[in-house]
Structure 1
């Protein structure tokens, strides 16, 4: 049981990390100054879909990944 829990949390962490890294990519592409990671994802969603900051801040990472699934298709990163 604990092994399953561990794998679940590791998978969730990996997905969150990839969203953060995608935010770094968005920041570079969109020319955001001093904004990266999840904040860049949020700014992109606000500007792209005209959603309010409070709405975007209330979104779970899973929902952000769902909305961005087309943009994130094929996205990879290197450490």
Structure 2
């Protein structure tokens, strides 16, 4: 495989891992906040709407990178639960 494609593949795998972690953190938020009908990325969106009084369209338009930035303090020290790891 060409070096360029190896680097690109590594980058995309890293991005996918970060996105996956954000979705799993959403499950953590849903459990902590006792959300009954949402989890994953929807829980992340709902939590940020409630915390910052942002409109759904604003939160949904944010990139995963921006969502993680907004959750930096909440995610500090959090690790993927064992059942979410490979």
TM-score, normalization: structure 1? Answer: 0.97
Written as runs of structure 1 = structure 2, the 5 A alignment for 1:26-45 is 26-45=29-48
SS of equivalent residue, structure 2 residue 12: helix
Offset at 1:3? 0.5
Map of 1:14 onto structure 2:
17
Q: Are residues 1:61 and 2:64 paired?
A: yes
Moved over 4 A (4+): none
Number of residue pairs aligned between Structure 1 and Structure 2 = 79
TM-score, normalization: structure 2? Answer: 0.89
Selected match of 1:4 from 3, 7, 10: 7
Bigger radius of gyration? 2
Offset at 1:4? 0.2
| Unaligned 5+ runs, structure 1 | none
